[in-house]
Amino acid sequence: MKLLSSILTLGLALLGLVSAQGFVGNCTWRSANLTDHFLGMYCNDNDWVHFGYKWTWHDLNNCVVNNGGQLALYDSVANKFPGYSTSCRDCTFKGMHDSFNFHCNCFDTKNNLVTSNVDLNQALWNHDGRLGCFSTQGNQSECGPMCDPGWKPPSARA
């Protein structure tokens, strides 16, 4: 009985770790929105009975840095390095089944623009409908930008 209890405890602990890794499997990345350096999307919360989704957004400067022209995943809050947004431009993303590739043109050490990408699914996680990475957690609302009457999709912004 103790062995079964230990196995169940270990299994639940591993399940918690697995569910905290990556976000592609439990967020609606197809409707994701990148505004400045904030990534927003709907993510599943812990109410699995009703499959509740919450709108969440996270500052990618807390997750991604420009390392000599190459995007890198880095805990910028803990390590006090600036995020990518001051030295990268024209950023886009492309979600797939098991990855979420983030592409930018970033300045290298010779001040040349270099195209780079990184898989955000390696650092971003969803916890109870809230995006986060490393030691930072994003924000959350019930219905996202549609609740804000002044919100416009990125393509419609001036």
Does the pLDDT of residue 16 top 60, yes or no? no
**pTM strictly above 0.85:** no
Reading across the β-sheet that carries 130-133, which strands appear in turn?
A: 124-127, 130-133, 136-137
- With vertex at residue 142, the alpha carbon angle to CA 74 and CA 78, rounded to the nearest 5 degrees, is 20
Would you place residue 40 in the very low, low, confident or very high pLDDT band (cuts 50, 70, 90)? very high
The predicted model gives 36-59 an average pLDDT of 84
Q: How confident is the model at residue 151 (pLDDT cuts 50, 70, 90)?
A: low
Pick from 62, 73, 71, 75: nearest CA to 131: 62
65-124 tens-digit pLDDT: 999 999 999 876 666 678 999 999 999 999 887 889 999 999 999 999 999 999 999 999
| Closest-CA residue to 103 (of 70, 127, 128, 67) | 70
Q: Per-residue pLDDT averaged across 32-57, rounded?
A: 84
DSSP three-state, residue 33: strand
State yes or no: pLDDT of 157 exceeds 90: no
Instruction: Report pLDDT for 46.
Output: 83
Amino acid at 19: S
pLDDT at 14 over 50: no
Q: 3-class DSSP state for residue 50? A: coil
- How far apart are the C-alpha atoms of 149 and 86, rounded to whole Å? 29
What was the pLDDT predicted at 96? Answer: 83
| Range in 18-22, 40-44, 127-131 the model is least confident about | 18-22
Contacts of 85 (CB under 8 A, 6+ apart): 36, 37, 60, 61
Q: Which domains does the chain have, with CATH numbers?
A: 2-149 (2.30.60.10)
Given this model, what pLDDT does residue 28 score?
86
